[in-house]
């Protein structure tokens, strides 16, 4: 670590050293926060990687290269954050007992938030932009051509609404739904259609025309299926584009959230989504009306693609997005939904069906991790409270553990729920990130400080971080349901940001003053 | 003005007799009367050069001239000042002298009554004690190992919460003895623990930062840091980081950090442990000067195992003794009072002695003079005599007997005797 600091000192430009020298004698708080260094290094890294990503030409064979390069900025951001945290633990402003002014906690809060935002921006923005650029490229250059060509031909097709509903999963043999079987089944259905057409004594020309169109569509749907199944990431990209491209209406957006019942050809499916920890392997899964679980791939294969193929015959079809969302029935996002989810989680009937899908495994692991994490925090909280108030009785500790574990699980459920509510990878993930970030600070404090003072510090961190977060996300969840504010839209994001800032500015300074007092307390 | 001239003449009188004392007094004089950083630094440099010259056996003539020059500069600056400033200074000096002369009672910084502490139900316990600390005084806490010295000062520093008793910090916060605003207290005291916490960055930045958060900013900050760096001879370390420094250097940096903002109460836990003998002497001299400063008097509370050094500089001494029983160990304050008063009512004189002769020879000599309390403590002998035999008489006895004495110390008026239950 010392070598690293020495290297950093060597790499530090002269002007930064000069600014440092000026700050240390006039603005010690700003100096100790290393904010000037944070601004310089994060913005420089950001600029370099953004330029790099922008200027690297995209070629189909190496379409993800800019994304891989952008991961370096992620590493830089994380390492920088680690170094910054380490430096903050060393310049312990609390231990110094300086003459603090009333504006001190506000300035400190602002500096910390700004530093944190810069590090997150440095770590995430290049990856985000690189990923978007790659997906845009793939969609525009590769998939869209297939889809657009199909759409143009489909648009000229006349309606045929005689298709049967899909069989439920119970009646379906998995082997039946391989693409080859599906094409065979389509051909069979086409034949039936032909017979039907003949039975209806349609004009020969029309019949021929319809048969021709049906065959044409069969070929197109086969092409589409093959194109979709060609490569795993592309399949996912197409799926993502189906569900995200051109989404402007709220209902379509809500389709991406958790627990939305989807009606496909009269069959009801409920979409579940685990938090999007892994960009490429987001764990979507569905439960059908019989209580069976389908992984999202199976759902897409068995339900959506089948549906697409069949809708290709339909005149209602205007675009592929409409095909996916046209018949999706959405419920209004009620606040009660959270409690329902909570009941689902706690009763956990799916725990008995773990072997069915791998998605459930990951969901189970996440919940398990949350419970373990909550228990650890609860134990710390209990120890803190007992040491703080001098309560030694075991049963009181036990009550604390039970109560605070429950409270923390509820809190995590809120955050997790919000995470799903907000979409794939933004604020919900950030919420988790924040919790772990402050837990990391707490660990550092644990490392730096000693004995009971550590616990006091931990108490402060716990209360100063988790309470505002729980407050903000509960409020956000309730408001989004009551006023139909979608947190994923710009207004919702602005609301979240403002709420976070207001809460931070209101709560953290008061907690800092408390910490000031706590640090001064004798043991 | 008159006081300055008197002190300047005193310095001059020492230049030829004892240049070390002259340099020392010059340093104090520049601290008290001059605001010119350059002059202060020159006075400091004289002190450090003297140490170096002594080690290298060089002539110190040029330093005598330098002292004269600094004195002339200080006095010259006063003379060239406009009349109104001189008048102001004269009046200020008169007022200051008045207060010094008429303030019979020194200002109390801390007052503790019945303070006690217990680590665990069957662990070490510090028995209740009373303690008062005054501005301008050094209070030394000495005693046996594990007798509760650090615990005692930690209670005063607000690191440990006393199990019983009342604490008052009249200069820092208003309290009823029970509920104290520790933040206010800790903002006004400087506490240096035995185990130092590492810091980040360079020594100079650390000092700038420490001073700036105490509200001293800008040019004053720069000047004060530069001065303290020179004063504690930290120039060679100023661009180094904590991990690059030795234990002694780290302690000096911490001292610099504690002293730089001129606290009213300075609490030091075993500060001499990591200092070499020269550094110890300089440090103790600095401490004495800082405590007795007219401008910014400091109350110093210090623990150390260096008993005699502590007795030399301290105004008050607290001696702690450890009593171990079957169930627990207890730390008790066995002496708490003025250092100079210790041993006034003693029953005997005590001496530490080391000589090249055998124990039998020494015993025979001592027995001839009715000194029969004699014990061997490894490297030295502990001798107890009646009050009629003082140090001078004992040395005479030993020299008449042709004893080759290599070490001798009169501990009759030292708390050293408390270690032996004399």
pLDDT at A241 over 80: no
Mutation target vs B (from A12, A22, A91, A97; most B CBs, 10 A cutoff): A97
Nearest to B217 among A25, A87, A521 (CB): A25
What pLDDT does A152 receive?
Answer: 39
Task: Give B206: exposed, middle or buried? Use CB within 10 Å, 0-12, 13-18, 19+.
Answer: buried
Contact A476, A418 (CB under 8 A): yes
pLDDT of res. A506: 61
Say yes or no to pLDDT of A125 above 60.
yes
Can you give the pLDDT at residue B365? 86
Q: Does B187 touch chain A (CB under 8 A)?
A: yes
d(C-alpha A42, C-alpha A118), whole Å:
6
pLDDT at B222 exceeding the cut of 60: yes
Which has the minimum average pLDDT: A152-156, A331-335, A515-519, B386-390? A331-335
Report, as an integer, the average pLDDT of A256-274.
52
Residues of B in contact with A24 (CB under 8 A): 205, 208-209, 212
**Is the distance from CB of B381 to CB of B375 less than 8 angstroms?**
yes
Is the CB of residue B388 less than 8 Å away from at least one CB of chain A? no
Residue A387 has pLDDT above 70, yes or no: no
Asked if B161 contacts B290 with a C-beta cutoff of 8 angstroms, the reply is no
Contact between residue A470 and residue A412 where contact means Cβ atoms under 8 Å apart = no
Average pLDDT over chain A, rounded to whole?
Answer: 57
Report how far apart, in Å, the C-alpha atoms of A481 and of each of A342, A418, A423, B222 are: 16, 11, 15, 58
Three-class DSSP category at A467 = helix
C-alpha distance from B180 to closest chain A C-alpha (Å): 9
CA dihedral A441, A442, A448, A453 (to 10 degrees): 140
Q: Do A522 and B160 touch (CB under 8 A)?
A: yes
What dihedral do alpha carbons B48, B54, B59, B63 form, nearest 10°?
Answer: 20
Residues B212, A24: C-beta atoms closer than 8 Å: yes
- Among A45-49, A281-285, B168-172, B212-216, the least confident range: A281-285
Cβ atoms B66, B48 nearer than 8 A:
no
Contact indicator for B135, B103 with CB cutoff of 8 Å: no
Do residues B212 and B221 touch, judged by C-beta distance below 8 A? yes
Stated pTM of the model: 0.61
What is the Cα–Cα distance from A507 to A466, expressed in whole angstroms? 11
Contact A25 B186 (CB under 8 A): no
What average pLDDT does this structure show over B30-48?
A: 76
Among the partner residues A25, A99, A523, nearest to B160 by beta-carbon distance: A523
Q: The complex's ipTM? A: 0.71
Lowest mean pLDDT among A191-200, A215-224, A235-244, B295-304: A235-244
| Cα–Cα distance, A398 to B201 (Å, whole number) | 44
Q: Is the pLDDT of residue A39 over 90?
A: yes
**Number of CB pairs, chain A paired with chain B, less than 8 A apart:** 78
Contact A28 B209 (CB under 8 A): yes
Q: Which of A263, A417, A407 is nearest to A335 (CA)?
A: A417
Q: Which of A216-225, A240-249, B67-76, B368-377 has the lowest mean pLDDT?
A: A240-249
| Chain B residues close to A99, C-beta within 8 Å | 187, 213-215
- Which residues from chain B sit within 8 angstroms of residue A90, using beta carbons? 198-200
The shortest CB-CB distance from B209 to any of A31, A99, A522 is to A31
- Residue count of chain B: 422
Burial class for A404, CB neighbours closer than 10 Å (0-12, 13-18, 19+): buried
Mean pLDDT of B217-244: 84
Query: Is there a contact between A90 and B198 if contact means CB atoms under 8 Å apart?
Result: yes
Q: According to the model, what pLDDT value does residue B240 have?
A: 86
Question: How deeply is A278 buried, as exposed, middle or buried, from its count of CB atoms within 10 A (0-12, 13-18, 19+)?
Answer: exposed
| Set of chain A residues whose Cβ sits within 8 Å of the Cβ of B115 | none
What is the predicted pLDDT for the residue at A336?
Answer: 31
Q: Which region among B45-54, B98-107, B338-347, B398-407 has the lowest average model confidence (pLDDT)? A: B98-107
Q: Which of A154-163, A305-314, B37-46 has the highest mean pLDDT?
A: B37-46
Chain B, nearest residue to A29 by Cα: B213
Q: Give the nearest partner residue to B218 out of A26, A31, A520, using CB atoms.
A: A26
Cα angle at A74 between A70 and A78, to 5 degrees? Answer: 165
Which residues does A229 contact at the CB level (< 8 Å), separation at least 6? A179, A235
Residue of A nearest to B258 (CA): A96
- Residue matched to tokens 């195992």: B305
Q: Answer yes or no: is pLDDT of B307 > 60.
A: yes
Q: Do A163 and A310 contact (CB within 8 A), yes or no? A: yes
Q: Give CA separation, A304 vs A147, A319, A321, A326, in Å.
A: 15, 14, 11, 11
Q: Above 70 in pLDDT, residue A52?
A: yes
Whether A434 has a pLDDT exceeding 60, the answer reads no
Of residues A79 and A472, more confidently modeled? A79
User: Is B241 at the interface with chain A, CB within 8 A?
Assistant: yes
Mutation for B interface: A519, A522, A523, most B CBs within 10 A: A522
Q: Higher model confidence: residue A362 or residue A28?
A: A28
| Summary count for chain B: helices (H), strands (E) | 15, 13
User: Is A90–B200 a contact, with Cβ atoms under 8 angstroms apart?
Assistant: yes
**B215 in contact with A at a CB cutoff of 8 Å?**
yes
Measured in whole angstroms, how far is the alpha carbon of residue B24 from the centre of its chain? 15
Across the interface, of B159, B201, B215, the residue whose CB is closest to A522 is B159
| Higher-confidence position of B326 and A500 | B326
Among B154, B198, B200, beta carbon nearest to A87:
B200
> Rounded distance, CA B224 to CA A395, Å?
56
Cross-chain CB nearest to A520 (options B158, B208, B222): B158
* A90/B186 CB distance under 8 A: no
**Chain B closest-CA separation from residue A37 CA (Å):** 14
- Is the confidence at residue B26, as pLDDT, over 50? yes
What is the reported pLDDT for B139?
Answer: 92
């Amino acid at each position: 670590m010392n070598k690293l600091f020495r290297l950093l000192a060597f790499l530090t430009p002269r002007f930064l050293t000069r600014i440092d020298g000026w700050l240390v004698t006039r603005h010690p708080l700003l100096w100790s926060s290393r904010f000037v260094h944070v601004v310089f290094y994060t913005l420089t890294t950001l600029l370099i990687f953004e330029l790099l990503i922008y200027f690297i030409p995209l070629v189909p064979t190496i379409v993800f290269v800019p994304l891989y390069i952008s991961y370096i900025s992620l590493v830089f951001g994380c390492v920088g954050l680690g170094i910054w945290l380490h430096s903050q633990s060393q310049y312990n402003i609390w231990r110094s007992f300086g003459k603090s002014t009333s504006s001190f906690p506000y300035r400190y809060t602002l500096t910390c938030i700004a530093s944190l935002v810069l590090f997150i921006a440095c770590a995430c923005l290049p990856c985000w932009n690189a990923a978007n650029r790659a997906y845009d490229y793939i969609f525009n250059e590769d998939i869209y051509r297939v889809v657009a060509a199909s759409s143009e031909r489909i648009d000229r097709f006349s309606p045929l609404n005689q298709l049967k509903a899909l069989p439920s999963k119970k009646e379906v043999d998995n082997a039946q739904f391989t693409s080859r079987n599906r094409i065979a089944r389509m051909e069979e259905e086409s034949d039936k259609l032909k017979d039907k057409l003949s039975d209806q004594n349609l004009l020969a020309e029309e019949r021929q025309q319809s048969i021709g169109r049906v065959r044409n569509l069969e070929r197109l749907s086969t092409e589409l299926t093959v194109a979709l199944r060609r490569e795993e990431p592309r399949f996912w990209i197409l799926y993502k584009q189906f569900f995200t491209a051109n989404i402007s209406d709220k209902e379509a957006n809500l389709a991406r959230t958790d627990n939305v019942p989807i009606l496909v050809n009269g069959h009801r499916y409920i979409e579940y989504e685990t938090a999007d920890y892994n960009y490429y392997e987001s764990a979507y899964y569905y439960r059908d009306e019989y209580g069976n679980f389908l992984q999202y791939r199976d759902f897409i294969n068995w339900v959506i693609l089948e549906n697409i193929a069949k809708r290709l015959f339909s005149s209602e079809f205007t675009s592929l997005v409409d095909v996916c969302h046209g018949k999706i029935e959405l419920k209004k996002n009620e606040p009660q939904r959270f409690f329902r989810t909570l009941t689902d989680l706690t009763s956990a009937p799916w725990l008995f069906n773990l072997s069915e899908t791998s998605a459930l495994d990951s969901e189970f692991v996440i919940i398990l991790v949350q419970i373990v994490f909550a228990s650890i925090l609860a134990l710390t909280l209990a120890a803190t409270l007992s040491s703080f108030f001098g309560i030694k009785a075991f049963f009181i500790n036990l009550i604390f553990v039970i109560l605070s574990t429950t409270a923390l699980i509820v809190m995590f459920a809120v955050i997790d729920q919000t995470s799903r509510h907000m979409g794939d990878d933004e604020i919900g993930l950030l919420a988790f990130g924040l919790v772990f970030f402050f837990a990391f600070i707490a660990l550092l404090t644990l490392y730096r400080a000693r004995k009971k003072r550590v616990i006091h510090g931990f108490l402060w961190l716990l209360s100063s971080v988790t309470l505002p977060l729980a407050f903000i996300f509960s409020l956000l969840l309730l408001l989004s349901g009551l006023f139909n504010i979608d947190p994923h839209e710009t207004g919702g994001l602005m609301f979240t940001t403002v709420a976070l800032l207001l809460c931070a500015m209101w709560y953290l300074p008061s907690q800092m003053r408390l910490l000031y007092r706590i640090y001064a307390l004798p043991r | 003005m008159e006081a300055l001239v008197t002190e300047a003449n005193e310095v001059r009188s020492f230049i030829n007799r004892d240049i070390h004392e002259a340099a020392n007094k010059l340093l104090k004089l520049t601290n008290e009367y001059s605001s010119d950083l350059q002059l202060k630094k020159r006075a400091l440099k004289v002190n450090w050069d003297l140490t170096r010259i002594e080690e290298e056996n060089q002539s110190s003539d040029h330093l005598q001239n330098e002292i004269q020059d600094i004195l002339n500069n200080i006095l010259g600056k006063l003379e060239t000042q406009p009349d109104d400033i001189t008048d102001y200074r004269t009046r200020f000096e008169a007022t200051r002298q008045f207060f010094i002369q008429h303030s019979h009672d020194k200002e109390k910084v801390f007052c503790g009554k019945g303070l006690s502490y217990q680590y665990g139900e069957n662990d070490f316990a510090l028995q209740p004690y009373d303690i008062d600390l005054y501005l301008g005084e050094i209070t030394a806490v000495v005693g046996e190992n594990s007798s509760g010295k650090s615990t005692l000062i930690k209670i005063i520093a607000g690191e440990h919460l006393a199990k019983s008793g009342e604490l008052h910090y009249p200069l820092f916060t208003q309290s009823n003895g029970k509920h104290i605003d520790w933040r206010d207290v800790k903002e006004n005291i400087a506490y240096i623990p035995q185990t130092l916490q590492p810091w980040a960055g360079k020594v100079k930045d650390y000092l700038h930062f420490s001073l700036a958060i105490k509200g001293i900013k800008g040019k004053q900050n720069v000047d004060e840091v530069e001065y303290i760096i020179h004063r504690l001879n930290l120039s060679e370390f100023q661009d180094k980081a904590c991990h690059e420094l030795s234990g002694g250097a780290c302690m000096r940096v911490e001292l610099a950090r504690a002293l730089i903002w001129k606290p009213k109460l300075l609490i030091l836990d075993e500060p001499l442990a990591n200092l070499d003998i020269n550094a110890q002497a300089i440090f103790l001299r600095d401490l004495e000067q800082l405590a007795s400063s007219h401008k910014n008097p400091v109350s110093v509370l210090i623990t150390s195992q260096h008993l005699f050094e502590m007795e030399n500089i301290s105004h008050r001494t607290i001696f702690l003794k450890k009593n171990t029983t079957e169930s627990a160990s207890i730390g008790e304050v066995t002496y708490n009072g003025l250092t100079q008063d210790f041993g006034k009512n003693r029953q005997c004189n005590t001496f530490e002695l080391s000589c090249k002769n055998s124990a039998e020879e020494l015993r025979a000599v001592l027995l001839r003079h009715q000194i029969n309390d004699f014990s061997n403590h490894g490297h030295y002998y502990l001798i107890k005599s009646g009050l009629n035999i003082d140090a001078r008489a004992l040395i005479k006895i030993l020299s008449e007997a042709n004893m080759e004495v290599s070490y001798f110390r009169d501990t009759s008026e030292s708390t050293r005797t408390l270690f032996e239950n004399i």
